[in-house]
Structure 1
Amino acid sequence: MTNRIAVLSDVHGVLPALEAVLAEPEVRSAERIVLTGDLAAGPQPSRVLDMLTGLGDRALWVGGNADRELVEFRRGLRATLPDPIAPWAAEQLDEEHVSLLAALPRSLELSVDGLGRVLFCHATPRDDEEVVLVDSGLERWAEVFHGLDGDVRTVVCGHTHMPFVRLAHGRLVVNPGSVGMPYGRTGAHWALLGPGVELRRTLFDVESARAQVVADSTYPGVAEWADYFLAARASDAEALEAFGPGDGRAERR
């Protein structure tokens, strides 16, 4: 039984945001840190992976779709990637980083004080890029929970970069939001589990972080990338509108 878990998702290669979260007292004292995917696809991929591996056995990793895509690109299994920064990020990784990402599980389970069996995944328990949102219908949740052991009463997922907690078919669903690419409001978003659930946001100096990223990264469009994502210029309403069709809601109307 684990008492306190800090959940970090969707770091997307943003070192200053990750540093700010790891400096939080509750993260430093957490028994475990669970990383729920999409860790490296961004402007500082190698430095972020090096910092995360430095956490040692206290960190438990889950792979996301962007992590898988970086590996596929580097290993010649695909010629293109949907995220413009991802091909550049893939080329920054050394073979040790690629092997690390290739070996990541798609989900893991822990027994957490107050929450029981908790399943951690990136997008949904069955797929690393399916879309579920805070306003997804119960039919959609039934689909993505199909085949999940009934003893799992809490599911923690990321992928859509917007934090929420909701009930769906008696299960508690937690999305910690994104550390490095937040939608809706600035700051690095994460969650604290055990015995309850706390959605947390770590504020940091966005302009200073942007300058650090621009100075450190050789990605050609890094200034525009950092300005857009660190300043959270995509609102939650815009993100929900963009992601909404992905959960199949239009077909159910």
Structure 2
Amino acid sequence: MQIAIVSDIHGNLPAWEAILADIRSRNIGQVYCLGDLVDFAPWDREVIASVRKLGIPCILGNHDERVGRNLPVIPKTKHSAREQAAREDAINYTKNVLDEQEKAYLAELPFSLTLTYKFPTKTWRILLVHAHPNSNERYIFADEPLDNLREIFQEQACDVLCVGHTHYSYIRPVDGNWVINPGSVGRSKEYNRLASYAILDISETAIRSEIIQVPFDRQAVIHGIEQSPIPNFYAEFWKQ
């Protein structure tokens, strides 16, 4: 069987629709989302409505938590003063545009989800988290120290760990296990800025994975941001 793993849509409806079209073209019936449905593009409500209508299981991203639970925007040292101001304005826009039902949906998303696929001679466990099994504010990049990953697999007793949050896609083997980051649907930081997701092909003998990257209408995203109260800092991101 095949499943699709998506993450970090960030209110980018054109990118999300392009990913959905690609998934449908491959006849993949199971789709799971690693969170961060909202912020930085003006289609937060449409993205939430789409995920809910399609019945896609979704877990709690740090942006979903911040908006849904009305948490403060804490400055990050990695951001310039301009980016920090834009970030705060963009998140506050999302908080203002969503209704209470939409915020409650985000607030109640689970922190993690474990998928179990049982075959006659093999059972696979796939752990889905947004960022790290212990925190939504931690990152697991492709160069994470191997001992750290071994510790996670030992603690979590899973075969595959799916994480998002970094906005960079990768597939990394760890002693017969796998860490898979599908990249970002709606705000990729990779050189090509394409919408990204992962496919897992699950059989009794193996789990094989592939990163899929899909073009979308970037001009529509630029125009949508520029016509909204979201700071143009986030439109400039798509002009690079």
TM-score with structure 1 setting the length: 0.78
Query: Which stretch shows the higher mean deviation, 172-181 or 17-26?
Result: 17-26
Q: Distance in 2 between matches of 1:115 and 1:37?
A: 26
Answering whether residue 32 of structure 2 is matched by residue 49 of structure 1, we say no
Answering whether residue 95 of structure 2 is matched by residue 90 of structure 1, we say yes
Query: What stretches of structure 2 of length at least 5 have no aligned partner?
Result: 76-86, 203-207
Query: Match for residue 202 of structure 1?
Result: 214
Alignment of structure 1 residues 1-253 onto 2, 5 Å: 3-26=1-24, 29-43=27-41, 44-56=43-55, 59-73=56-70, 78-82=71-75, 83-84=87-88, 85-112=90-117, 116-145=124-153, 147-149=155-157, 152-184=158-190, 185-195=192-202, 196-215=208-227, 217-219=228-230, 221=231, 223-228=232-237, 230-231=238-239, 233=240
Structure 2 vs 1, CA of residues 26 and 192 (structure 1 numbering), >3 Å: closer, same or farther? Answer: farther
State the one-letter code of the partner of 2:64: D
Per the TM alignment, residue 147 of structure 1 is displaced from its structure 2 partner at its CA by: 2.1
Q: Distance in 2 between matches of 1:25 and 1:142?
A: 32
Q: Distance in 2 between matches of 1:36 and 1:140?
A: 21
Q: Which has the higher contact order (CA 8 A, sep 6+)?
A: 2
Q: Distance in 2 between matches of 1:104 and 1:5?
A: 20
User: 1:41·1:90 contact (CA, 8 Å) conserved in 2?
Assistant: no
Query: Which stretch shows the higher mean deviation, 41-50 or 185-194?
Result: 41-50
Per the TM alignment, residue 60 of structure 1 is displaced from its structure 2 partner at its CA by: 0.9
User: 2:39·2:91 contact (CA, 8 Å) conserved in 1?
Assistant: yes
- What whole-Å deviation, never above 9, does each CA across 1:113-147 have from its counterpart, x for those lacking one? 89821111101122222111101111322444452
Structure 2 vs 1, CA of residues 190 and 115 (structure 1 numbering), >3 Å: closer, same or farther? Answer: farther
Query: Which stretch shows the higher mean deviation, 107-116 or 195-204?
Result: 107-116
Length, aligned pairs only: 218
- What whole-Å deviation, never above 9, does each CA across 1:176-217 have from its counterpart, x for those lacking one? 0001110122110111111321100011232233224434x3
Q: Distance in 1 between matches of 2:129 and 2:189?
A: 20
Query: What stretches of structure 1 of length at least 5 have no aligned partner?
Result: 234-253
Q: Distance in 2 between matches of 1:94 and 1:144?
A: 37
User: 1:22·1:28 contact (CA, 8 Å) conserved in 2?
Assistant: no
Q: Distance in 1 between matches of 2:226 and 2:201?
A: 37
Query: Which stretch shows the higher mean deviation, 196-205 or 138-147?
Result: 138-147
- What whole-Å deviation, never above 9, does each CA across 1:37-61 have from its counterpart, x for those lacking one? 11112222112111211212xx111
User: 1:125·1:145 contact (CA, 8 Å) conserved in 2?
Assistant: no
Per the TM alignment, residue 26 of structure 1 is displaced from its structure 2 partner at its CA by: 4.3
Q: Distance in 2 between matches of 1:115 and 1:202?
A: 32
- What whole-Å deviation, never above 9, does each CA across 1:3-56 have from its counterpart, x for those lacking one? 221111000111111111111144672221101011112222112111211212
User: 1:189·1:199 contact (CA, 8 Å) conserved in 2?
Assistant: yes
